[in-house]
């Protein structure tokens, strides 16, 4: 008589279903003395079963972290970051044009304000440079007066400076959110892989230790797969 084919279907299920199954099965194994004794003979005693449940906890926790990365809340983050970022960059670029006009013949002021330094290629670095320029201008009354003489009043300069600071903070938080999300996704993959490997070993032991205990196998969600009848050969038919 051939041994039955046993299958848990664990690895073929979606992640959430695998986590639920692992918790159900390991909890059932821990709570059933007969199953516990049988598994203990193969090295899967209470301590190791609890280790498996700990892996389930870790995998579930990492999936929760992935869904809700802990990012500092800020009232400065705009509802439409891309739109706000573009608007603030345009304001900053307009500020640079006025400043270059205001200090066109003042080499020392241009160096102080970094107006002749090549402009950064990324939006975030551009925000930093523009924010520094706006706040440097506001620190000195003489610089503000010369900007006003070229058509940019102090009030507008202050508004631009605040907008650049807000946009830079929002851009940083957005970057942080993406970075934390990537880290959380990596941690979720790592903990799930560890649990899957543990459960694969567990089910290999279960199928040996409890092969002759169908009710125990059912409790641990292992099913018996019916073998397809072997087609009769020509020799069988003749006999």
Give the pLDDT mean for 179-185: 78
pLDDT band at 9, cuts 50/70/90? confident
Identify the CA nearest to 96 among candidates 123, 129, 68: 129
pLDDT in tens, 216-229: 999 999 987 765 55
Q: What span, in angstroms and rounded, lies between the C-alpha atoms of 211 and 202?
A: 14
Portion of the chain with pLDDT greater than 70, in percent: 85
Query: Which of the two residues, 24 and 123, has the higher pLDDT score?
Result: 24
Helices (H), the chain: 15-31, 33-40, 46-67, 81-102, 107-113, 123-139, 141-149, 154-209, 214-219, 234-238
């Amino acid at each position: 008589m051939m041994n039955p084919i046993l299958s848990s279907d664990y690895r073929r299920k979606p992640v959430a279903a695998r986590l639920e199954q692992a918790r159900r099965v390991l909890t059932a194994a821990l709570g059933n003395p007969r199953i516990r004794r049988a598994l203990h003979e193969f090295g899967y005693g209470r301590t190791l079963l609890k280790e498996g449940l700990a892996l389930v906890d870790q995998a579930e926790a990492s999936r929760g972290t992935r869904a809700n990365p802990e990012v500092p809340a800020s009232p400065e983050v705009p509802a439409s970051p891309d739109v706000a970022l573009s608007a603030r960059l345009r304001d900053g670029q307009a500020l640079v044009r006025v400043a270059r006009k205001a200090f066109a013949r003042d080499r020392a002021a241009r160096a102080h304000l970094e107006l002749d330094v090549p402009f950064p290629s990324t939006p975030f670095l551009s925000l930093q440079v523009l924010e520094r320029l706006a706040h440097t201008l506001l620190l000195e009354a003489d610089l503000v007066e010369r900007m006003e003489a070229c058509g940019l009043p102090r009030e507008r300069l202050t508004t631009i400076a605040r907008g650049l600071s807000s946009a830079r903070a929002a851009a940083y938080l957005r970057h942080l959110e993406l970075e934390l999300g990537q880290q959380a996704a990596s941690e979720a993959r790592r903990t799930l892989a560890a649990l899957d490997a543990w459960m694969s070993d567990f089910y290999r032991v279960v199928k040996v230790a409890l092969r002759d205990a169908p009710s125990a196998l059912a409790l641990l969600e292992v099913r018996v797969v019916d073998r397809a009848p072997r087609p009769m050969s020509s020799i069988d038919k003749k006999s």
